């Protein structure tokens, strides 16, 4: 099968969609398919370094979006080259990620004459752009043969503007890379790990505010912060750390994949205190795969991954008090950490990129078959080379995942009903001599 993977974002600049596409590219190629990546890029030699990449858009513009920064091309002169590439390559499937983001995905969707599959990654409450551009965007959505959302939260967001049948197929992780044996040598510190960009929605400031309370009860605690951020982005957080008199806060910035895995392996607890707009939570799965107990905010996107009290702990977002209590509870209970880590590791295996890619290949085959029957595409497309049994198995697993594993309401028996939506049980800080003035290390 000949597959096009289309991204609106600067490739290969680090980001969730870029990583998703890169892993699908690898898995599809390993299965014997021909795969091309169509994306804008600020890297001048990207086509020389990666011959399977078509660089469509050279000028990258950072655009504020979803409390983050999206690195896009807004070029309106892409049509000619897009047409040429599609005519020459004759793809069996064009898989467009974030198909309604300008400008490349919309251009590809307009010009494509083959089977189009779209994946929606973003989760948020509402978006005025979709609301006001809906009459125009509906024309593009009519060209999409199958729709994928990476989580129930992402499906609910896009579905309120463009109702339809959305298959939930999540982001995956490279489970094997994270589950290798740990290096047990350490320096006696208790490591809390944060991984992410330094954006407000990632909630690092709430973790920093919680840290003095945690450190009062566990003096050897150390917070390690890694992610794709620049020096100037750290200053606000470093200033806060200095003014609060905190020690043992380490800002590492961007690290290689190999280094990131080592940090997970050396962590005692992984914490993601995001305050909103998280579609799924790949970092949670990475921590689970590394055998690290997880504590995270009770966001809809995170609830598709973490089952409260079963394979992680969830606390109310934007609440440093609840976060401090949860961290203290984890650090004081060895049996709880072990139980959550074991359950998390079992959960992570369901999200391997090999399984995720097979679900998507099965959907490609179903979509091609349906489009042919409807007379919407010709007979030129090749099958995915999965056996009939493998296709049926992938189909069954995908259906089971949609009905249970990736359903945000799939909670363990006995979970408090108040935890299933917005409200979580109220909490109070562990006692300390001066609760009104957090102790500093």
- Select, from the ranges 136-140, 184-188, 387-391, the one with the highest average predicted confidence (pLDDT): 136-140
Percent of the chain with pLDDT over 70: 83
pLDDT classification of 420: cutoffs 50, 70, 90? very low
Residue 312, pLDDT score = 97
Cα angle 96, 100, 106; round to 5:
70
CB-CB contact of 229 with 253 (8 Å): yes
Residue 9, pLDDT score = 92
Residue 187, pLDDT score = 85
Residue 73, pLDDT score = 79
Residues 346-373, mean pLDDT to the nearest whole number: 95
User: Looking at the whole model, is its pTM more than 0.85?
Assistant: no
pLDDT classification of 401: cutoffs 50, 70, 90? low
Q: Which range has the worst mean pLDDT, 295-309, 326-340, 400-414?
A: 400-414
Check pLDDT > 70 for residue 54. yes
Residues 113-117, mean pLDDT to the nearest whole number: 97
pLDDT classification of 65: cutoffs 50, 70, 90? low
Residue 411, pLDDT score = 30
**Domains of the chain from N-terminus onward:** 2-172+352-404 (3.40.50.2000), 175-350 (3.40.50.2000)
Residues 186-203, mean pLDDT to the nearest whole number: 90
Across the chain, what does the average pLDDT equal? 85
Residue 71, pLDDT score = 79
Residues 199-220, mean pLDDT to the nearest whole number: 95
Check pLDDT > 90 for residue 321. yes
Mind listing the pLDDT tens digit for each residue in 237-269? 999 999 999 999 999 988 988 999 999 999 999
Check pLDDT > 90 for residue 421. no
Check pLDDT > 50 for residue 5. yes
Residue 123, pLDDT score = 79
Check pLDDT > 90 for residue 216. yes
Check pLDDT > 70 for residue 408. no
CB-CB contact of 22 with 50 (8 Å): no
CB-CB contact of 141 with 120 (8 Å): no
Check pLDDT > 60 for residue 429. no
């Amino acid at each position: 099968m000949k597959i096009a993977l289309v991204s609106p974002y600067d490739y290969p600049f680090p980001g969730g969609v870029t990583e998703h596409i890169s892993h699908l590219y690898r898995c599809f190629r390993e299965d014997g398919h021909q795969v091309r990546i169509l994306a804008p890029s600020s890297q001048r030699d990207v086509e020389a370094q990666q011959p399977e990449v078509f660089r469509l858009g050279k000028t990258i513009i950072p655009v504020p979006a979803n409390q983050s920064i999206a690195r896009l091309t807004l070029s309106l002169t892409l049509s000619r080259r897009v047409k040429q590439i599609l005519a020459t390559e004759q793809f069996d499937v064009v898989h467009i990620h974030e198909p309604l983001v300008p400008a490349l995905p919309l251009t590809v969707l307009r010009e494509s004459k083959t089977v189009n599959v779209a994946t929606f990654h973003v989760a948020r409450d509402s978006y005025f752009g979709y609301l006001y551009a809906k009459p125009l965007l509906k024309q593009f959505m009519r060209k999409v043969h199958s729709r994928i959302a990476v989580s129930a939260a992402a499906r609910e967001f896009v579905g309120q503007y463009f109702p339809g049948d959305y298959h939930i197929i999540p982001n995956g992780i490279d489970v094997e890379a994270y589950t290798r044996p740990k290096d047990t040598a350490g320096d006696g510190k208790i490591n809390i790990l944060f991984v992410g960009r330094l954006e407000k929605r990632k909630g690092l400031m709430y973790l920093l505010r919680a840290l003095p309370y945690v450190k009062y009860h566990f003096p050897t605690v150390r917070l390690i912060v890694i992610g794709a951020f620049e020096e100037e982005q750290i200053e606000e957080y470093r200033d806060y750390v200095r003014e609060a008199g905190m020690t043992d806060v380490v800002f590492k910035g961007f690290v290689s994949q190999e280094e990131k895995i080592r940090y997970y392996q050396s962590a005692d607890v992984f914490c993601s205190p995001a305050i909103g707009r998280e579609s799924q939570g790949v970092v949670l799965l990475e921590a689970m795969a590394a055998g690290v107990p997880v504590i995270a905010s009770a966001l809809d996107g995170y609830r598709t991954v973490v089952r409260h009290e079963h394979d992680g702990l969830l606390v109310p977002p934007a609440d440093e008090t609840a976060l401090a209590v949860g961290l203290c509870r984890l650090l004081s209970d060895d049996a709880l950490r072990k139980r959550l880590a074991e359950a998390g590791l079992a959960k992570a295996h369901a999200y391997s990129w090999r399984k995720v890619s097979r679900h998507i290949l099965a959907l490609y085959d179903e979509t091609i078959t349906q489009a042919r029957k409807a007379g919407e595409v010709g007979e030129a497309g090749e099958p995915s080379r999965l056996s009939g049994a493998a296709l049926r198995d992938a189909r069954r697993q995908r259906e089971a995942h949609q009905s249970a594993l990736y359903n945000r309401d799939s909670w363990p028996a006995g979970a408090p009903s108040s935890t299933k939506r917005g409200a979580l049980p109220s909490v109070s800080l562990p006692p300390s001599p001066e609760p009104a003035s957090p102790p500093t290390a």
